[in-house]
Amino acid sequence: MTGDLARTGKPEQYGLVVELFKALMDRTGVPPERFFVVPGNHDVDRDVGRWLLRTLSSDEEAITFFEAAGSRGFHAQKLAAYRQSMKSLLGAARPLGIGVGEDSVEVVEIRGVRLAIAAFNSAWFAQGDDDKEKLWVGEANVMRAVDKIADEEAAFAIAMFHHPFSDLHPLDRELVERWCERGFDMVLRGHLHTDRTRSIATQRGGFVEVAAPAAYQGSKWGNGCFVGEIRAKARTVRLRPYMYTSGPDPWVLDTRVFPDDAEDGYCHTFAVPAKKRTKSSVGAPLRAATAAAMRSLPEEQQKAITRQVGGNSDQLASELSLVDVIRGINYLGNVDMRDSGLGWVVAITRAGDALDRAGHRIKVTDVHTLADALVAASRLFLEESARRKLTKDTYERTGCTAFTAAFAATVAGRVMPDQTLRDGLRSESADIILETMGQRVVIDIARAAEEVVHLNRLSRSIDLAGAKLGALVLLGPLAPPSDRSEITRAMSNADVPILIVRL
């Protein structure tokens, strides 16, 4: 349900909403955990939001709003009645569009297919009839959701929000749409009270966009809906349109929506563009390397690259949006990336894509398969470093990022860089956490001279993470080209096996 559940967001209006949704779930057999909703502008209580910030003015403000703890508290109060009624009906832990980033994503498995649904709130700044181009979904919000979807290895991803892209603030609209092209297979929305379907194919992938007609009694617009069928492996979405008329059987096939598809019963099948979602263990290092490369360039070159990604040449592009350019080119402006840290990471990422297509990723189940994975990652790391003329400074600054990318490229499972381990506590020494086959592996990357200190810290991190295996990767000094590494078993007080890799 893509928003506008109520009329003015008042608590008393949601009694009827809950009654309707209960009836829908009863008739369809769909349980509450498979029922997805986001708010719309009519779920906003304008009286509560009268004195709140009306919009944002920059990417920096948007990043703070969507990432800083507590930043959305006052705006969330406008949706208090919506949130309370939907959580009581559908579950207290559900995101319902109020969660952001990874917290907006839910993954369900249906007939062996992992389906990800990201519920976004496009009504954070909805307040009046002049909302157009004042609304924000948030690039950082969508980007982190896409990271989570990639980490979860979902076969098909759906984004839900209420407003069309054209209603978003100009600074947000293009970036959010690009991330949807990159990360989502289908976008569901509402707001305009009329059906709208389209398939968008771009250099980033693309998506099928579906907007259903109005569905409320007394609407001056025609009431209608779609019944859709997703075939994730075939990468198609088939839509059957219905309209509401009158009489004892009011819901009938709407032949006006797809008039050219009479031979298919006036249904239409959309092809879903193929895409490549990048895991956060690769995406985050790639963004960090991109930012570092950008900062090293003269300002004029930075502006030229900004123009390349469609930004205003006087306002440098956000570090997040630059990744779209970097992933597809071999040069950053006029800078040869082959000898840069960024080029190193990009090359490893592409090598990992080839391993994935060939089905050569390693499943880590015990200390032996962990050793196999570390050998494969080390080989990829060293081979790619030998192909480029890295300076000592570049090697030291980018080595951790490059090995993280190499490990992510060679293992099956969810690879997370520098994550919170348990109860909000962060590890002193965990550059990588691998979740695979129902267990966790903690890996630290350090300089060779820091072996003893990091080994002790790693033992504590393993306990904190509840991990079954651990590894310490030691980066030696920049040396002549080599593809050799040494792996030994560590002697430690931990009950968990720890491997030491010396590069």
Domain residue spans of the chain: 11-215, 280-502
Q: Which residue's entry shows tokens 């598809």?
A: 261
Cα separation, 453 vs 247, in Å, equals 78
- Cβ 243 vs Cβ 233: under 8 Å: no
Query: How many Å separate Cα 52 from the centre of its chain?
Result: 28
Determine which helix (DSSP H) or strand (DSSP E) holds 351, and give its type and residue range: helix 341-357
The H or E element spanning position 150 is helix 139-151
Mapped onto helix, strand or coil, the DSSP state of residue 386 is helix
d(CA 449, CA 438): 34
Q: H or E stretch including 93?
A: none
Containing H/E element for 198? strand 196-202
Q: Please report, for residues 97, 159, 170, 226, the alpha-carbon distance to residue 106 in angstroms, rounded to integers and kept in the order given.
A: 11, 11, 28, 22
Report the interhelical angle of 170-183 vs 59-67 (nearest 10°).
60
pLDDT of residue 493: 47
Report the alpha-carbon distance of residue 358 to residue 115 in Å, rounded: 23
CA 400, CA 99: separation in Å to the nearest integer? Answer: 31
304 CB-contact burial (10 Å; exposed 0-12 / middle 13-18 / buried 19+): middle
Closest listed residue to residue 279, CA positions, set 376, 366, 382, 407 = 407
Alpha carbons within 13 angstroms on the beta-carbon side of residue 56 total 25
Sheet of 205-211: strand order equals: 105-110, 113-119, 156-160, 186-189, 205-211, 196-202
Count of residues making up the chain? 503
pTM of the model: 0.75
Residues 349, 409 contacting (CB under 8 angstroms)? yes
Report the SS3 class of residue 199.
strand
* Antiparallel, parallel or unpaired: β 224-231 and 236-244: antiparallel
Question: Are 365 and 332 a contacting pair, CB within 8 Å?
Answer: no
Helical spans, DSSP H, in 152-216: 170-183
Q: Which tokens belong to 130?
A: 């002049």
Contact 116, 158 (CB under 8 A): yes
Q: Would you give per-residue pLDDT tens digits along the chain (503 residues)?
A: 999 999 999 999 999 999 999 999 999 999 999 999 999 999 999 999 999 999 999 888 998 999 887 899 999 999 999 999 999 999 999 999 999 999 999 999 999 899 999 999 999 999 999 999 999 999 989 999 998 998 888 999 999 999 999 999 999 998 899 999 999 999 999 999 999 999 999 888 999 999 988 888 888 888 999 999 999 999 999 999 999 988 888 999 999 999 999 999 999 999 999 888 877 766 666 666 666 666 666 777 677 766 665 555 555 555 555 555 554 444 444 445 555 677 787 778 777 777 777 777 888 988 899 999 999 999 888 888 888 878 888 788 778 888 888 888 888 877 776 554 433 434 455 677 887 766 788 888 888 777 777 887 888 888 887 888 889 898 887 766 555 667 776 654 457 888 998 88
Determine phi and psi for 209, rounding to 5 degrees. Answer: -105, 130
How much is the pLDDT for 187?
Answer: 98
What is the per-residue pLDDT for 219? 81
Taking the CA atoms of residue 337, residue 341, residue 344 and residue 348 in that order, the dihedral angle to the nearest 10 degrees is -130
The answer to whether the CB of 482 falls within 8 A of the CB of 382 is: yes
Q: Which residues face 251 on adjacent strands?
A: 244
pLDDT at 479: 67
What is the pLDDT, as a whole number, of residue 488? 72
pLDDT at res. 326: 52
Topology given in CATH for the domain delimited by 280-502: Restriction Endonuclease (3.40.91)
What pLDDT is recorded for position 16?
Answer: 93
Question: How high is the pLDDT of residue 427?
Answer: 44
> What's the token pair of residue 454?
């990091």
- The torsion defined by the Cα of 52, 53, 55 and 56, in degrees rounded to 10, comes to -150
Q: Going along 85-133, which residue ranges are E strands? A: 105-110, 113-119
**pLDDT for residue 460:** 81
Cα 333 from chain centroid?
Answer: 27
Token output for 499: 């491997």
pLDDT of residue 312: 52
Alpha helices in 11-135 (DSSP H): 14-28, 59-67, 73-76, 80-90
Closest CA to 101 of 132, 134, 72, 131: 72
